[in-house]
Structures are given as structure tokens and as C-alpha cells.
Amino acid sequence: MSVDLVIVVTAILVVVPCALLGSVLVLRQSVMVGDAISHAALPGIVLAFFLTGSLGPLTAVAGAAVFGLLTVVLVDLLQRGGRVRGDAAIGIVFTGLFALGVLLIARYGGNVHLDLEHVLFGEIAFAPLVTLEIGGVDLGPRSWWTMGVVTVAVVAFVLLLYKELKVTTFDPGLATVLGLSPVLVHQLLMALVSVTVVGAFDSVGAILVVAFLAGPAATAYLLVDRLSAMLATAVGSGAVSAAVGYLLARVWDLSIAGMMAGVVGVVFLTALLLGPRHGLVAAALADRRRRTLLREQLVRHARKSVGEGATPDRLAERLHWPVAEVERVVARIS
């Protein structure tokens, strides 16, 4: 099987769930919960190793999953209390749990090969080398199976609960009146975010997961105004970024994950600058058109007020503008 195909397909299988969930998280202003889960999972991996004596992928993912869900629960409890804002709750929980993991490694893991690379720096280039074997039968890259299951679960979640996600995201009060439970939908969403982030540890590492979770969704947010279009645009943007990033990494012999994340950033910056409605250039042009229209309306009003003697000098005196500015506006509207 082609190495290039395995890597690109693995990246796309990470992009799809991350882009879908990331779009909802961006709208809810909670996208950094993915970064929180990625860091807070460290003590789970450490404790799983201490309990089992093994650092195999299943053990690591199981430990990370438990603490990923714990992170979601703790953040939710802090937010519900009303005394801590969402961003502060995320920061408090993930730094506290991450620090716990670092302390456990420093205190008890000095004589074993256990370090932050197990969580933060997964290498997608190794995806073709790690296969899934059952009963001596090679079933192909393990990353395809892991992320394939996650992707199917996330796509099914979005399709089945699309209306519920939409209503609870944009109008939680209306959702409650309609008999929906914003809290339950939020918990299901956070649980899937945890599973997605943790499921991608072994394949691409948490850094690339966070990039795919935030970047494509933020790009789509700048380009479209409908949730359905945002979901599709985010998936497309992430897939293109992954493919282009891999191609550039091959050409320039650079880190694949780093280049993919870099392309995600470039695509976002392009959308930020050149977006048709919300881009900085479009906003600047729209502001310029508004100012031009206002000047023209003011000059027309001043002409009516001054009457027959509406020379540029008298208009400038009336408006308290420079004469040259009045002459430019008069030339446009004449």
C-alpha cells in the first residue's frame, strides 16, 4: 500500500471529525477545550502505565480517554457554578491536570521511557508502519481503523442531532422551551470531542489535532453564514490543507505534521484577509464605500443649504472641510 496514501487518508480521517466538531465549538466559543483535553490526558496516560506496567496504544488511549472525559466534567462543573467563566475554567482544569502529569513523570517515571512525546508529538509519518493484526491477519493501518470509527461516530452524531446542535448552539433558551436539553447535547458534544482528540493521539499527536479542530472551523466561520455550509467548508478546507501540507513537506523535506498545521494557518490568514464578507480587505472596502457615500450626502445637503452660491469655497466653509476634499467630492457627484 502506498505510503503517501496512508498518510493523506489518515490526515483526512482526523480532519473530518475535528472540522465538524470544531465548527460547533467555534460557534459556542469553546474551541480550546480540545487543547485542554490534549494536555489534561497526560496524567491519565501516566496512571495507566503505573497500573498496567504497559505503555501500549490501547493502554495509553484508555488512560487518556478517562482523563479527557474528566476534563470535560470538571470544566462543566466550574462553568455551572457561575463563578468562573468558560475560558478561565478550561485554563484552570487543563493546566492543573497537565501539571499533575508532569509531576508524576518527574517523581515516579525517571527510570522508564515515559515522556511528553507520548501525548504531544505523535508522528503521522509512522502511520504506514503501524498496522492492525487480528488472528495473524493484517487489516491495514491501525490509524485508519481508529480514526475511521471516530469519524463514523462523529458524522452520525452530527447528522442525527443536527437540529438539536443548531438550536442549542444559537438559542439555548428556545431549545429549553422546545423540550430539548442543552446540557445533555453539550455533554454529548464534549464527550465526542474527548474521544476524537484522544483517538488521534497515536496517529498524529495532539498538536495537529488542535490545529485541525480550530483552524478549518475558524476559516469556514469567516467565509460562510450558514451552519450546514460552515460544516462542509471546514471539512473541505481541512482536507485541502492536509493534502497540500503533505505535498510541501515531501518537497521541502520538513515535518509533515508541522507543515500541515502551517498550511492550516496560511489558509486561515488568507480567509481573514480576502474573505468575501468578513475579510479585512472586504471590510476596509465596505468602510471606504460608506465614508464616500456619507461625504457625498453631506455635500448634497450643504449645496441645498447654501443655494445658488454653492461654490467649493463656500461648501468647504459650511462643512469645515479642506477645499481640495470638497472639490474631489463635487467632481464625483457632478
Task: Write out the DSSP string of 50-90.
Answer: HHHS---HHHHHHHHHHHHHHHHHHHHHHHHHSSS-HHHHH
CA distances from 243 to 2, 4, 19, 239, 247 (A): 15, 10, 15, 6, 6
Q: Within the chain, which residue ranges are assigned CATH 1.10.3470.10?
A: 3-225
54 confidence band (pLDDT: 50, 70, 90): low
Place of cell 496516560: 45
| Range name among 107-111, 226-230, 259-263 with the lowest pLDDT average | 107-111
19 confidence band (pLDDT: 50, 70, 90): very high
Place of cell 474521544: 195
What is the homologous superfamily of the domain 3-225 according to CATH? ABC transporter involved in vitamin B12 uptake, BtuC (1.10.3470.10)
Q: What is the pLDDT of residues 82-141, one digit of tens each?
A: 677 777 888 888 889 888 888 887 776 655 555 445 444 457 888 888 888 888 888 889
Q: What is the pTM of this model?
A: 0.85
Angle at 7 between CA 221 and CA 144, to 5 degrees: 85
Helix-strand-coil percent breakdown of the chain, rounded to 5? Answer: 80, 5, 15
Q: What is the pLDDT of residues 146-191, one digit of tens each?
A: 899 999 999 999 999 999 999 999 998 888 888 888 888 988 898 8
Q: What is d(CA 27, CA 107) in angstroms, rounded to the nearest whole number?
A: 41
Find out whether 20 and 235 touch, Cβ atoms under 8 Å. Answer: yes
Angle at 266 between CA 265 and CA 272, to 5 degrees: 90
Torsion, Cα 93 99 100 102, to 10 degrees, reads 150
Q: Can you give the C-alpha Rg of the chain in angstroms?
A: 27
Whether residue 21 has pLDDT greater than 70? yes
| Residues present in the chain in total | 334
Classify 30 as helix, strand or coil. coil
* CA-based nearest residue to 240, from 253, 227, 223: 223
Backbone angles phi, psi at 137, to 5 degrees: -100, 125
